[in-house]
Amino acid sequence: MRVLNYVNAGHDPTLIVRQASDGVRLIRLESKGLPIGTFPDATYQGRSCLLQPGDLLVAYTDGVTESSNTMQEFWGLARLEGILSTCVGKRPGEIIEAILSARETFAGTIAPTDDMTLVVAKIEQTAGSRLVKSPQDHETAATCRDAVEAAENR
């Protein structure tokens, strides 16, 4: 297992998608914090989460969940979690495509009004292997692994 140390600086909670014996478990990494840069002396409390092999780590900005449709409804966290609950066993790139496609179908002709960032990482089965499956970008995966290893050695 791996430990993820995290802090939230005003963003939506990162999600962990975990295969459980009774189905899929979605874990919200809740942490309160002011948006970064709001107050120069703001302090943030870190938290930790144990990651298991096969877990999916999903980080996103509110531009994803606050996309709206012609009825001015938000796509929302519930829809994002609904897509994620069907994605166990898929590659991160496939999951990103499924999320963006579902969001686009929901929004219809309404263009996004905010930037959208979506990161999906799969935790590998064996210790010492890449943390991120990204055949398109091995350099990013190596940089991510090096950063995690450096943090673990502090």
**pLDDT score of 97:** 95
> What span, in angstroms and rounded, lies between the C-alpha atoms of 54 and 131?
10
Write the pLDDT tens digit of every residue in 41-66.
888 888 999 999 999 999 999 999 99
Angle at CA of residue 112, ends 111 and 116, nearest 5°: 150
Angle at CA of residue 53, ends 153 and 89, nearest 5°: 140
| pLDDT for 9 beyond 80 | yes
Domain boundaries, the chain: 2-152
